């Protein structure tokens, strides 16, 4: 287990116009479970492959436990990094049995026969594969293959473990049970884990901290509840969790833990960390349906989620999302109030706006 640190890490692929990774800085504590979350093409897999040692960075440094893995002058190849990886395709070697797949890392390290057998048995027991040791990968189900890949990774006690969308090829029911396996597994061995996913549910459920990535940059790197309650910018607010992101006008009046903003034609007290927010993130639970509410909206869409309804409510040209316990009529008018929303300052939207104004 070791601390993993990225400094100014960049990757530019040949023939590609924009960098896959642009000056990423992050540090991951020993034993942390980190999720890299983002839409496809955001650079999360590139970051993972750089960490594994399959690609060389164009600039910047990767260090593990204080040792440089890659920078301008040094490059430790994948086989010398002691970092384990679980692939999306599992990458089990089809010509080896389950036990042979798991024992290969130890064979490469010239571990003695007896020690090898003991550790393979241990890894198989830990992943619940004891009865499958003699099977070929082709004879296993998707979930079992996934666990073989996991056993093969943990058997050599890597300094960090990378997981590349490990659940993407599994069906929904198996996914949640495998999530449980990963969580229990991490609790037990306490390895530093880097988990790539595009599924925010997975990331929110599993990770200690989540790095939300977009266009080769980390937009926000924080605990799941912080990402949800206090998104740093419009992208994170829109990508993680449900709700609306609406531009606001700051009044400059401050409050304890927040400020007053003008949005939807009303003044609202919101949580904020800056004096002049540009946007507000209104989660469904921030919208309270109440006849006495100061806002009036019209129901334009409704989905039953089981136990509650998700309503889309239009007002003043914006669409809010609210939860309701009873079915609403399309077109029905509702009274609303906004409570405990989060306002933030997004510098990029300002430059966008400035550019739009310049063109106008």
Minimum CB separation of residue 4 from another protein in Å reads 15
> What residues form DSSP beta bridges with 263?
266
Is residue 109 close enough to count as binding another protein by CB under 8 A?
Answer: yes
Q: Return the H-helix or E-strand segment holding 338.
A: strand 333-338
Q: Which residues contact 122 (CB under 8 A, 6 or more apart)?
A: 155
Is residue 83 close enough to count as binding another protein by CB under 8 A?
Answer: yes
Residues 267-326 that bind another protein (CB under 8 A): none
Q: Which of 337, 240, 253 is nearest to 281 (CA)?
A: 240
Minimum CB separation of residue 153 from another protein in Å reads 7
Is residue 93 close enough to count as binding another protein by CB under 8 A?
Answer: yes
Dihedral over Cα of 350, 351, 352, 353: its sign: positive
For another protein, the closer CB: 106 or 280: 106
Cα–Cα distance, 13 to 98 (Å, whole number): 36
Cα–Cα distance, 50 to 53 (Å, whole number): 5
Minimum CB separation of residue 92 from another protein in Å reads 8
Is residue 189 close enough to count as binding another protein by CB under 8 A?
Answer: no
Among 13, 25, 27, 80, binds another protein (CB under 8 A): 80
Tell me the number of residues near another protein by CB under 8 A.
Answer: 34
Cα–Cα distance, 247 to 279 (Å, whole number): 4
Report the side by side order of strands in the sheet with 266-272: 244-247, 279-282, 342-344, 266-272, 258-263, 249-255
Only segment of 72-80, 205-213, 230-238, 309-317 that touches another protein (CB under 8 A): 72-80
For another protein, the closer CB: 3 or 82: 82
For another protein, the closer CB: 82 or 285: 82
Is residue 95 close enough to count as binding another protein by CB under 8 A?
Answer: yes
Among 6, 33, 132, 156, binds another protein (CB under 8 A): 156
For another protein, the closer CB: 85 or 311: 85
x/- map, 23-62, another protein, by CB under 8 A:
-----------------------------xxx--------
Only segment of 81-89, 194-202, 242-250, 351-359 that touches another protein (CB under 8 A): 81-89
Minimum CB separation of residue 85 from another protein in Å reads 4
Only segment of 70-78, 112-120, 216-224, 247-255 that touches another protein (CB under 8 A): 70-78
> What residues form DSSP beta bridges with 160?
83, 192
Determine how many CB atoms are found less than 10 A away from the CB of residue 132.
Answer: 21
Is residue 77 close enough to count as binding another protein by CB under 8 A?
Answer: yes
- Do strands 279-282 and 309-315 pair parallel, antiparallel, or not at all (unpaired)? unpaired
CA dihedral of 286, 42, 9, 48, whole degrees rounded to 10 = 100
Give the pair of three-digit tokens for residue 264: 């939807």
Q: Look at residue 237 and give its three-state secondary structure.
A: helix
Q: Which residues contact 176 (CB under 8 A, 6 or more apart)?
A: none
Minimum CB separation of residue 115 from another protein in Å reads 16
Question: 142-154 and 98-108 are packed helices; what angle lies between their axes, rounded to 10 degrees?
Answer: 20
Among 78, 121, 223, 250, binds another protein (CB under 8 A): 78
Q: Residue numbers of the site for another protein (CB under 8 A)?
A: 52-54, 67-68, 73-85, 87, 89, 91-95, 104-105, 108-109, 149, 152-153, 156, 162
């Amino acid at each position: 287990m070791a601390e993993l640190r990225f400094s100014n890490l960049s990757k530019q692929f040949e023939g590609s116009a924009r960098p896959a990774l642009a000056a990423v800085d992050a540090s991951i504590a020993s034993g942390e479970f980190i999720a890299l979350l983002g839409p496809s093409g955001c650079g999360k897999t590139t970051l993972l492959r750089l960490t594994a040692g399959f690609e060389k960075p164009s600039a910047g440094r990767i260090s593990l436990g204080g040792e440089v893995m890659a920078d301008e002058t040094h490059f430790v190849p994948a086989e010398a990094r002691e970092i384990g990886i679980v692939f999306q395709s599992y990458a089990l070697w089809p010509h080896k049995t389950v036990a042979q797949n798991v024992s290969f890392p130890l064979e490469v390290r010239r571990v003695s026969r007896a020690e090898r057998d003991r550790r393979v048995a241990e890894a198989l027991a830990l992943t619940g594969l004891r009865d499958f040791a003699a099977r070929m990968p082709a004879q296993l189900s998707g979930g079992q293959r996934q666990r073989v890949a996991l056993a093969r990774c943990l058997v050599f006690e890597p300094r960090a473990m990378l997981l590349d969308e490990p659940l993407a090829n599994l069906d929904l029911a198996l996914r949640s049970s495998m999530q449980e396996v990963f969580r229990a597994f991490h609790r037990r061995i306490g390895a530093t884990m880097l988990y790539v996913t595009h599924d925010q549910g997975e990331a929110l459920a599993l990770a200690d901290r989540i790095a939300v990535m977009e266009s080769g940059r980390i937009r926000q790197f924080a605990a799941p509840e912080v990402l949800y309650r206090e998104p740093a910018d419009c992208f994170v607010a829109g990508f993680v969790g449900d709700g609306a992101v609406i531009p606001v006008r700051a009044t400059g009046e401050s409050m304890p833990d927040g400020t007053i903003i003008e949005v939807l034609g009303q003044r609202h007290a919101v949580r904020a960390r800056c004096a002049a927010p540009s946007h507000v993130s209104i989660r469904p639970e921030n919208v309270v349906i109440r006849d006495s509410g100061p806002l009036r909206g019209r129901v334009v869409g409704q989905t039953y989620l089981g136990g509650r309804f998700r309503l889309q409510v239009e007002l003043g040209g914006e669409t809010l999302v609210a939860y309701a316990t009873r079915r609403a009529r399309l077109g029905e008018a509702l009274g609303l109030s906004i409570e405990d929303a989060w306002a933030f300052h997004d510098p990029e939207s300002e430059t966008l706006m400035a550019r739009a104004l310049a063109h106008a």
